[in-house]
Structure 1
Amino acid sequence: MTSPAPRPRPGGRSGRVRRAVHEACLALLEQRGNRDLTVPEIAARAGVHATSIYRRWGSVERIVVEALLERSEERLPVPDTGSLVEDLTRFAAEVIAYVHDPMAATLMRTLAATADDPSLERARREFWESRTVAAGVMVSRAVARGEVPADTDAARVLETLIAPIHFRLLLSHGPLDDALPARLAQAAVAAVDSAGAPLD
């Protein structure tokens, strides 16, 4: 399996600080979740001044979201099977496996609790864009193979594939069974009309 090129990360001291803070945050989350997590204890574990963290991130919630979103990118590689349906099936299976991870549950709770926080909007937007790029890789390959039209909307394919997983997880509490990824993949591909128009 291969993934799209990762988004550039800051280099030098800035990059080291970012990695240290993210690693400290994730380690603390794994130990005890995000209950009463504070900037000073993240700073102490990362070996960084708390004032530097406040200046760069502003809040614990933003650190948590950034660290968890970055981790989720690493946990969701892009399949390359030679078939769009099979690629989407495997990708959906990866998403289902990921959402059962306690860290993913922490991410979703944090995002839901801070839905109106403008300081987190950039992190959410960048994550969604990275997932759209991933879908674009799968769709571009399928276009080259002649499986779907050239103007197929990759973002809508991704929405059609992933939205039912989160609906079942968060609202209906329906089963996320082993057969679901294939059904979702087939539905996502079927939703691309013969003209390759966006999936309205």
Structure 2
Amino acid sequence: MHQKTSLLLAAGLVSLAAPAQKTQYGVFAGAQLTNAHYVLHGRQQKTEAKPGAHFGVMLSIPFENRLVFTPSLYYSLKGFKVALTDTSSLPGVDAVANDITLHSVELAPLFTIYMGKGTARPFVQFGPTVDFAFYGRERLVLNTGRRVERQVHFSNNDYGHITAALLVRLGYETRKGVLFGAHYSHGVGSLNNNDFGPTIKHRIFGVSVGKYLTHR
């Protein structure tokens, strides 16, 4: 159901943009450093960031003046490492550490404000993102010292497929429609669905390069 909703939203954005004569289509890719705000039983756990990547497609739909609607749909590789100070049903009562990697698709209906009137100008981009994690792996360290690697299990009592975040990006667009940007994504929805487990919210810093393929 969640997957169908995400696809319908993406299709709606494309159909909205199709009639617009000034709509631009582009691609982008970049690297990111991903981590998580991890709280277990009221105590923040020590985490370690992991490298990740992202790539996808984007639209640019002018509204008025320097305000532009810039939705994007992209693949995102993210994860983190955590050392646990207490027991929890997620990832397991016998786990003392976890290293998790997630593969996801993100839908980001963002807005862009350009800072100048020229064709080469800086910009600020902001808005929400919805993340759909479709696959993941986790490497657990148990209290016996044994290491276990397994596939991430998504359900109502385990990890959740869908999380949300707020994203801010600072960037620069050249006269040829090439974009350079740096962004921060602040998770507001927890990756954990278990009521007795931890609160896990993504924290992501990234850089990217993009190009409008239909640049005027």
> Is TM > 0.5 for Structure 1 vs Structure 2?
no
Q: TM-score, normalised by structure 1?
A: 0.26
Structure number with the higher helix fraction is 1
Bigger fraction of residues in strand: 2
Using structure 2 for the length normalisation, give the TM-score: 0.25
